[in-house]
Amino acid sequence: MTNTQDQDTTLPDVTEAPNPVIRTMRMLWNDKFAFVSVVFLLIVLLCAIVGPFLLEDAATKQNLRGRNAPPFDFSTAWPYWLGGDALGRPLLARIIVAAQNTIFVAAGAVFFSLLIGTTLGLIAGYTSRIISQIIMRLADIIMSFPSLLLAVIVLFMLDSSVFNLVIVLAITRIPVYLRTARAETMEVRERMFVQAAKVMGASNGRIIFRHILPVVFPTLITIATLDFAFVMLAESALSFLGIGIQPPEITWGLMVSQGRPYLTTAWWLSFWPGLAIILTTLSLNLVSNWLRTALDPAQRWRLEIVRKKNG
């Protein structure tokens, strides 16, 4: 009897585990949209980190002769190329400086809600019925409360600092991850490979982190990127109400709302920060799309096949 008769001959033999870093870079290069998005996000990140140190002064200096200065006037200094705001402050410099607060609030809120929501969701999905019920009812309470109202109450009582804003936004977004993680966990835990791990004697921790989380994670990451945009807008709404970020601190959302009264006469006040929000969200979406494919061994070939076509 030939034991190897049902051998799969269409695939090349892999003798060594491929280097994961090189492989990832190659897959990223093959998806041009994702590649451009990553480059854009790196630029945004760079602005967020070093922007305030270099441009803090330029961004806050008022210049009443340049009030609502129109964009694309290249005779002026470069921070004014995208125009000036109502107090004559250069828009480009302000956008770069505002990146720090915006990214910090959004990334912080998304990160904490993702972390807490996923943890609770996995616990609720995998452990006993009672714990699951308690966690789910807590989530229901948060969800039944309008998130903006909750934020208004909490921020009214506490100081309206960047850190408090992150906490409030994180709490309101926890149920989204929690419910998704729980639902997926309950589906995955019944799959046979989980049963197989149990038969081998795997601990609960091992089953959750090695077998369930990798299957659930791509879905959560996709939600997280969509949520990123939501949080940015929620933050601007709170800032608009005067309980979020307080001037002179700035964020993109605050800039959009500050430009609102001038929309008919000076559109660029709201347009540029709005564009920054849109591009960041779009890039995150494209990257998460790529990530979902890259993380799935069964789908990964889609990103590797392009390489062969390109030679």
Partner 1 sequence: MGERLLDVRNLSVDFHTTHGTVHAVRDVNWHLDRGETLAILGESGSGKSVSASAILNLIDMPPGEITSGEILFEGADLLTMHAEERRKLNGCRIAMIFQDPLSHLNPVYSVGFQIAETMTAHGQSKAGTRAKTIELLERVGIPNAETKVDAYPHQFSGGQRQRIMIAMALALKPDILIADEPTTALDVTVQAQILTLLEELQQETGMGLLLITHDLGVVAEIADRVVVMNSGEIVETGSASDVYHNPQHPYTKQLIAAIPGNGIMAQQLDQTAPILQIEKLSKHYGAFVALDEVSLTVLPGETVAVVGESGSGKSTLAKTVLRLQDATSGEALFEGRDLVQMDRKDLFKVRRDIQMVFQDPTQSLNPRMSIYDIISEAFVIHPEILDKQHWKARVCELLQQVGLKPDHMYRHPHQFSGGQRQRIAIARALALEPKLIVCDEAVSALDVSIQAQVMTLLKQLQDDLGISYLFIAHDLLLVRDFAHRVIVMQNGKIVEQGPVEQIFDAPREAYTRNLIAASLSPDPEIQATRRIALDELQGANP
Nearest to 278 by CA among 233, 239, 220: 233
Q: Which is nearer to partner 1, 133 or 204 (CB)?
A: 204
Nearest to 108 by CA among 166, 147, 164: 166
Least CB distance to partner 1 at residue 113 (A): 24
Residue 16 interacts with partner 1 (CB under 8 A)?
yes
Query: What does the buried/exposed string (b/e) look like for 19-37 if buried means 16 or more CB atoms within 10 Å of the residue's CB?
Result: eeeeeeeebbebbeebbeb
Q: Which is nearer to partner 1, 167 or 215 (CB)?
A: 215
Contacting partner 1 within 88-127 (CB under 8 A): none
From 93-101, 202-210, 244-252, 263-271, give the range in contact with partner 1 by CB under 8 A: 202-210
Residue 9 interacts with partner 1 (CB under 8 A)?
no
Contacting partner 1 within 276-295 (CB under 8 A): 295
Residue 307 interacts with partner 1 (CB under 8 A)?
no
Residue 297 interacts with partner 1 (CB under 8 A)?
yes
Contact pattern for partner 1 over residues 17 through 46, marking x by CB under 8 A: xx----------------------------
Least CB distance to partner 1 at residue 234 (A): 33
Residue 78 interacts with partner 1 (CB under 8 A)?
no
DSSP 123-148: HHHHS-HHHHHHHHHHHHHHHHS-HH
Contacting partner 1 within 173-192 (CB under 8 A): 191-192
* C-alpha R_g of the chain: 24
CA dist 121 and 127 (Å) reads 10
And the tokens for 304? Answer: 């590797």
Nearest to 273 by CA among 65, 33, 47: 47
Please list the residues that pair with 84 across neighbouring strands. 90
* Binding stretches for partner 1 (CB under 8 A): 1, 3-8, 10-11, 13-18, 191-193, 195-203, 206, 210-211, 214-215, 295-298, 301-302, 305
